[in-house]
Amino acid sequence: MNKTAITSPELAPPVGPFSQAIEVGGFLYFSGQVGQDPATGKVVEGGIVAETERVFRNLAAVLKAAGKSFDNVARAGVYLTNMSGLRRDEWHLRKAFQSALSRPHNDRGGRAAPWGLR
């Protein structure tokens, strides 16, 4: 089975030894995305709403590089670094998913990220 690295020219190169996504057998597997502004290389300011919007723009750029769109997404997972604000911010996360992912809504789930991950 062949693996093909997918890289978007619209984003900053990954900071580690990994690809933005890998295509295997017609499926795309993404590396973790954060709300990093490609122009500055820094996480955008504004909290979870701004970071989530930036993550979806970053994901859209990688999907575009692979010749895909959010219409092709079957599952999405979210790792949060701070679960304490989840109740407050859940509406924003749900809104971001619903605006990006086509109906029927795809499988999505959230988990806490390991300590120190950002």
pLDDT, averaged per 10 consecutive residues of the chain (118 residues), comes to: 93 86 93 88 87 90 94 78 66 70 56 48
Residues making up the chain, counted from first to last: 118
Q: What is the pLDDT of residue 115?
A: 47
Q: Let me know: does 67 contact 26? Beta carbons within 8 Å.
A: no
**Greatest pairwise CA separation for the chain in angstroms:** 43
All structural domains of the chain, each given as residue ranges with its CATH number in brackets, are: 3-112 (3.30.1330.40)
* Chain centre to alpha carbon of residue 79: 10
Q: Return the exposure string of 49-86: e unless at least 16 CB atoms fall within 10 Å of the residue's CB, then b.
A: bebbbbbbbbbbbbbebbebebeebeebeeebeeeeee
Task: Answer yes or no: pTM beyond 0.85.
Answer: no
**What pLDDT was estimated at residue 88?**
66
pLDDT confidence of residue 32: 81
Measured CA to CA, the distance from residue 118 to residue 105 in angstroms comes to 27
